[in-house]
A and B are shown apart, each in its own frame.
Chain A
Amino acid sequence: MYGNTFMTAEEAKQMDQTQDNPQKLIAFEARIERGEKIEPGDWMPVDYRKQLIRMIEQHAHSEIVGALPEGTWITRSPGFKRKLALIAKVQDEIGHGQLLYSACETLGKTREEMLDDLLSGKSKYSNVFNYPAKTWADMAVIGFLVDGAAIVNQVINSKGSYGPYCRALERICFEESFHLKQGHDNFVFLATGTNVQREMVQEALNRWYIPLLHFFGPSDKTSVHSEKLMKWKIKLATNDDMRNQFLDQYVPKIREVGLTLPDEKLKKNLETNKWEFSDPDWDEFYRVVNGDGPCNKERLEVRRFAEEQGRWVRQALVNPQDKYVTPFA
């Protein structure tokens, strides 16, 4: 699972000031233009490396933190089959985190540095995981719609220019297709069930509607948008385009089982072919990004607990003779 990343105005300004060897830059951009992948040993602009590290690292943290709301439901899953599926899904998410940390390491940041930056709050993770999973219906909505949104994002990003990230994403998308199906299965089961079950899933939908709109990041009109990121194929679609694609794919699937989304303005404009909706309070989005969400503290506490309680095991196994080596691909 994953949320979109965005840049602050400050970061975008810094980015345009970095100077690279102009000849190498031309050759580099020509390679990307031809559709070639960039590999770890290749020359790359300073900002290309920096932006990729930021993005892949955020993605990795999102996988790890994203497993937490669902992890709490393993012991409370209704029935053995659902429990098995949920365990497998949560384990997948942690594996995805590992794959992404590996991809990011090829750019020169060690895994330990990334985990430290997560705990200190220096690196972020997707905002959507700062909201609680109150009932089993939240599991259905997360598995179906949050994973669905993540897949929209990840399929697009897997066409990017950095080889190790693309390879990790291809593997991730392949595995996520099961997450989506089991989410949809849970969702439809509740939606076609008793009145109480329908009510439960409707309430969960109402809770997740705004975080899902926030998921793809601020609107293109307001977000700091870098031409460079698009040119370098780090970013391949704008936030609004991805959000629109998501609504296109999933709103009909919600409505076909007679459920609604809590927004009277939500409808597709048939002339522009774009979805229209009420403005999803972006102040709340920034507030939660900056640490003041319902679960920010709880999520990092759990991560810190794992870090501290497991440290002695990791340290006991370290051989002081070993040297850290950046992976090849």
Chain B
Amino acid sequence: MSNESLDPRIRRLDLEHVKNGVQPTNSHWITFEVFHQEKRGRQAIHVGIVHAPSPEIALMFAKEQYARRKSTSNLWVVKSSEVFTFASEDEDIFETTPDKTFREPGFYKVRDRIEAYKNKHS
């Protein structure tokens, strides 16, 4: 099989220097994190990444890859290098949160006291 393109416009380009030639020092595109919003008013949820040379093209790739099924109202792309996170080994700083049940409505058992009061005074 020949590697020649069927498109004459491509064949007219001098691609030899690219084929055999110098790789630029950076051959990578930018990594973007992709967020998908299913409907207006819903949260945008992280779904994956794309590689693209610019945010505009990143959006285009994100549409091809993450909006192929079901409904989509919008997509966000953010450069991965612009996302800041905690180190994964610091996960324990969140450890005690679920223990703080006094922040939950179920913690307060007012009904018990009312029933006890009623029983005592009736």
A contact residues vs B (CB 8 Å cutoff) = 39, 41-43, 91-92, 95, 98-99, 102, 105, 110-112, 167-168, 171, 174-175, 298, 301-302, 304-305, 308-309, 311-312, 314-315, 317-320, 322-329
Contacts and interface: CB of A to CB of B under 8 A. Distances in A.
B114 interface: no
Contacts of B79: 325
B29 A305 contact: no
5 contacts: A111-B51, A301-B3, A309-B3, A318-B26, A323-B81
A317 B24 contact: no
B65 A312 contact: no
Contacts of B30: 319, 322, 325
A317 B49 contact: no
Contacts of A41: 85, 87-89
B3 A324 contact: no
Nearest to B7: A309
Contacts of A43: 89
A102 B49 CA distance: 7
Nearest to A302: B1
Given A92-B68, A175-B69, A311 B19 contact: yes
Given A325-B81, A327-B33, A320 B25 contact: yes
Given A41-B87, A322-B28, A327 B80 contact: yes
B37 to A, nearest CB: 17
Contacts of B88: 39, 41-42
Nearest to B15: A312
Contact of B27 (A42, A112, A325, A326): A112
Interface in B8-56: 10, 13, 15, 18-19, 24-31, 33, 46-51, 53-54
B7 to A, nearest CB: 9
Nearest to A316: B53
Nearest to A317: B53
A323 B81 CA distance: 9
Contacts of A311: 15, 18-19
A111 B46 CA distance: 20
Nearest to A306: B3
Given A41-B87, A309-B5, A95 B65 contact: yes
B1 A305 contact: yes
Given A302-B1, A324-B26, 9 more contacts: A99-B48, A102-B49, A111-B28, A167-B48, A309-B3, A312-B15, A325-B80, A327-B31, A327-B49
